[in-house]
Amino acid sequence: KAGVTQTPRYLIKTRGQQVTLSCSPISGHRSVSWYQQTPGQGLQFLFEYFSETQRNKGNFPGRFSGRQFSNSRSEMNVSTLELGDSALYLCASSLVGTSGNNEQFFGPGTRLTVL
């Protein structure tokens, strides 16, 4: 099975711009979660989508948004970029089957640099 893929792998943007990141989960996985990783704050949960619905949301401003398509692929969008948004954005997918089977499989990440 192919792993979680994320595109693009690297992005450079300037302050005020917006950006869209894409994540393709493992085939059959219906849950997609997004995380932001920075040296200062570590790994922080952004949001989770399941069956095209946002099920859970972390403590991030409304500039961060996401969506999930019927094929379970997900995108996240960051509008009005700030310097502090520079980070590695990780996507993880999960089968979400029976209770306890919620292992998350991570993608390689998208490295966003805001200048």
CB of 15 to other proteins, least distance (A): 27
**Cβ(26)–Cβ(3) under 8 Å?**
yes
CA distance 49 to 33: 6
β-pairing, 87-94 with 64-68? unpaired
CA distance 42 to 60: 14
Binding mask 10-49 for other proteins (x = CB under 8 A): ---------------------x-x-x------xxxx--x-
CA distance 93 to 46: 14
Q: Which two tokens stand for residue 64?
A: 């961060």
* Residue in 19, 107, 110, 114 binding other proteins, rule: CB under 8 A: 107
CB atoms within 10 A of CB 62: 6
CB of 17 to other proteins, least distance (A): 28
Residues 61-100 that bind other proteins (CB under 8 A): 90, 92, 94, 96, 99-100
* Residue in 7, 51, 56, 113 binding other proteins, rule: CB under 8 A: 56
Residues of the shown chain interacting with other proteins in the complex, contacts defined by CB under 8 A: 3, 31, 33, 35, 42-45, 48, 50, 55-56, 58, 90, 92, 94, 96, 99-100, 102-109
